[in-house]
Each structure stands twice: as C-alpha cells, then as structure tokens.
Amino acid sequence: MRNMTFTDAAREGLAEEMQRDPTIIVLGEGIGPRGGNFNTTLGLHALYGEERLRDTPISEAGFTGLCIGAAMTGLRPVVDIMFSDFAVDALGMLINQAAKLRYLSDGRIGVPLVLRGAIGGGQSSGAHHSGNYYPFYMHIPGFKVVVPSTPYDAKGLLKSAIRDNDPVVFLEHRFLMNTQGPVPEEEYLIPFGQAKVVREGEHVSVVAISLMVHKTLEAAQQLAAEGISVEVVDPRTLAPLDTGAILESVRKTGRLLIVDEDYAPCGAGAEIAAQVADQAFSYLDAPIRRLNMGHATMPFSPTLEKALLPNPQTIAQAIRSLAAA
C-alpha cells in the first residue's frame, strides 16, 4: 500500500488503462499540456500526445457528441467535463443517444463512454460550478453512476468505468481531490453495485454519499463519546445501487438517515428511502430521515453557502434526533 491523493490515484488508474488499451482517448477543456483544471490528466499529454489526449474548445455539447459517436464506432472515450454543471449542455445527446443506443440497436451498438466531472459546493464557486446532478442520470435507464469517496475507490472504480461497455457517469467531489489514503501497487478493479460499510455501528444506519461519507464519519466520532453507535454505509455507486447492503444495515440498527449534499426533492436519498420503506419497513423503529443541502440556488456568499450545506454538526444533530425517536 502507498498513500496517495484522490486525484493521483484516479490519474494513475487512467494512465494504466490508456497504456493497456490504445482505443482509450480523453477529450476536454484544458486537459492537454496543462493537465486539466484539477490535474486529472497531468503528465499524460507528454506520453500520448494530441491523438489520444485532446484539448477542446469550450463546447461541451460539441465534444461530448463527438465522443458519443467515437464510442459507437469502436473507441473508448473519457469526456473530462471539468464541472458536472457543464454536462447539462450535452444532456440531449447523453440521454437520447448514449443511454438509449444499446436498446435502440437491439444490443448491436454499445457506447463505452465515461463522463467525468467535479461536483459539490463549499468553495464559493457559485451556481454554475457547484452542482451534483447525479439524480438526473440515476433516473435514466442505460447510465451507470459512480461517486467515489476515497483514493482507493477512485482508482478502482475509474478503471472499471473505462472498461465498461455502457456509458458511466463518474463524479468526483472537489473537496475529496486532495484527500489521501492507501492505494495498492498491484492492479485492482472495484465492481459496480457493491456498497461499503466504512464504520460499523448498532444504533443508527447512515447512508452517506461522496464527501458526506467523511463528514458523517466525523459526526459519528463525536457521537461515540455520547454513547450513540453509528453505522456508516458508502454506496460508492448510485446506479447500480447496492440496496442489499443498505437493507442489511437497517435490519441491524432499525434506523436510517441519508446524508446527501444534493437537493432533497426527487434526489438519491428519496430513492434510497423508498427502497428501504418498501423492503424493510417492519425492521424500522423510527421514520426514515434525510439530510440534504437547502433547496436553493447555490450563492456566491461563503456565509450563505455554508448555511446551505450539511456539516458534521448538523449531521450529528440529525443522528441524535433519530436515535431518540
């Protein structure tokens, strides 16, 4: 094991896959010699040049559409969309072409494409650079949705995403990119649809998504001193969703809180809550609860932004309330 940052681990996974498979190409804004806005491709342009690592104009719809066509004809593109907000400009092609083509071609044509972008607020980047958007893609048949929270998961899940024969949306929270953790030297892949219990507990189950895993672990550490034992489940992929692991945790604790930085209405937490209510209602000792960011457009103001986002203190209070219910 080595200690690596989230970004370094993911970039190593991308480099290994590009070396293994010459059909892998990467397109995006500023990803060439500069290495990308978040260093996602730093150093790779010198290895593979313009043929496989191409800077693009500021035209998300253009280069995403280009990559969908390239995937249809035998290449395996990685679309580095920079901020996930920008993918909205290409949703028509992503939903009506990339996600549906396998079905529309009776399985003859796949779209092995990875759409990669940063998510999340907390840096006063405003409304156009702070979104999450994973519920959009969870809703559409054909997409796989990946939200890693550790360097280990970032590398293993990105390698799996690149090898997948269907479109995968790979979303990385910007506050995770400099976090560090152990990463094996040997090659490994992480299958989709396998959640991870990152902390075992007895009183309350918390399903936390992306950065919220770390904030929930901090809250759980505080609550342990109060005698509240919290189990934290990281789904790692939202589509496919490992409902079985979540149900197993709820059957043990009898209580469920879902912590999600995205909006509550029609969100990932709403789907998780519905699945648990349907399949494990008799195990619940209290109503399922959700903690989300405020349902408002992300402001530039650091003070207002902070007030909108879940934090260890608000998470801890939500857990206390649920444990007492």
**pLDDT over 70 percentage in the chain:** 100
Q: Mean pLDDT, to the nearest integer, of 176-189?
A: 97
The pLDDT, as a whole number, for residue 238 is 98
| Same domain, residue pair 21 and 160 | yes
The DSSP line for 124-173 is S--TTS----HHHHHTSTT-EEE---SHHHHHHHHHHHHH-SS-EEEEEE
- Per residue in 221-271, pLDDT (tens digit) is 999 999 999 999 999 999 999 999 999 999 999 999 999 999 999 999 999
Angle, helix 44-52 to helix 6-20, in steps of 10 degrees: 50
Positive/negative CA dihedral, 275, 291, 9, 136: positive
Q: Report yes or no on 189 lying in a domain.
A: no
In a shared domain, residues 168 and 229: no
- Determine what percent of the chain is predicted with pLDDT higher than 90: 98
The pLDDT value given to residue 320: 98
Per-residue model confidence as pLDDT tens digits over 36-76: 999 999 999 999 999 999 999 999 999 999 999 999 999 99
Let me know whether 64 and 123 are in one domain.
Answer: yes
Assess whether 96 and 204 both reside in one domain. Answer: no
Q: Is the peptide bond before 240 cis (omega within 30 degrees of 0)?
A: yes
**CATH number assigned to the domain comprising residue 23:** 3.40.50.970
Query: What pLDDT, on a 0 to 100 scale, did the predictor assign at position 100?
Result: 97
The structural domain count of the chain equals: 2
Q: What is the pLDDT of residues 103-117, one digit of tens each?
A: 999 999 999 999 999
Question: Do 147 and 206 lie in a common domain?
Answer: no
Q: pTM, whole model, 2 decimals?
A: 0.96
Tell whether the model's pLDDT for residue 157 goes beyond 90: yes
97 and 243 share one domain: no
Residue 142 falls inside a structural domain? yes
Domain that holds residue 289: 196-324
Task: Decide if 249 is inside a domain.
Answer: yes
Domain boundary pick from 134, 151, 183 = 183
- The answer to whether position 190 is within a domain reads no
Task: Name the band, by pLDDT with cuts 50, 70 and 90, for residue 1.
Answer: confident
Check 129, 173, 203, 214 and give the catalytic one.
129
pLDDT at 123: 86
Structural tokens at position 264: 């509550």
Rounded Cα distance, 313 and 228, in Å = 15
Is pLDDT at 217 greater than 90 in this prediction? yes
- Say whether both 216 and 174 belong to one domain: no
Model confidence pLDDT, tens digit, residues 114-133: 999 999 998 889 999 999 99
Q: Mapped to the 3 state alphabet, what secondary structure does 278-322 carry?
A: HHCHHHCCCCCEEEECCCCCCCCCHHHHHHHCCCHHHHHHHHHHH
Which class for 15: exposed (0-12), middle (13-18), buried (19 or more C-beta within 10 A)? middle
Do 204 and 179 belong to one domain? Answer: no
User: Whose CA is closest to 7, among 127, 183, 220, 151?
Assistant: 151
Helices (H), 4-112: 6-20, 44-52, 60-72, 91-93, 101-104
Residues 108 and 17 in one domain: yes
Whether residue 43 is contained in a domain is answered as yes
Instruction: Give the CATH number of the domain where residue 251 resides.
Output: 3.40.50.920
User: Annotated catalytic, 129?
Assistant: yes
Could you say which of 183, 206, 229 is where a domain stops?
A: 183
Question: Any idea of the CA torsion for 293, 228, 249, 309, to the nearest 10 degrees?
Answer: 10
Residue 84 has which token pair? 């996930």
Tell me if 191 is assigned to some domain.
no
Q: What is the mean pLDDT of the chain?
A: 96
Which of 183, 214, 237 finishes a domain?
183
The answer to the question of residue 62 being in a domain is: yes
**Does residue 183 contact residue 128 with C-beta atoms inside 8 Å?**
no
Pair 99, 208 in one domain: no
Does 267 share its domain with 173? no
pLDDT recorded at residue 182:
98
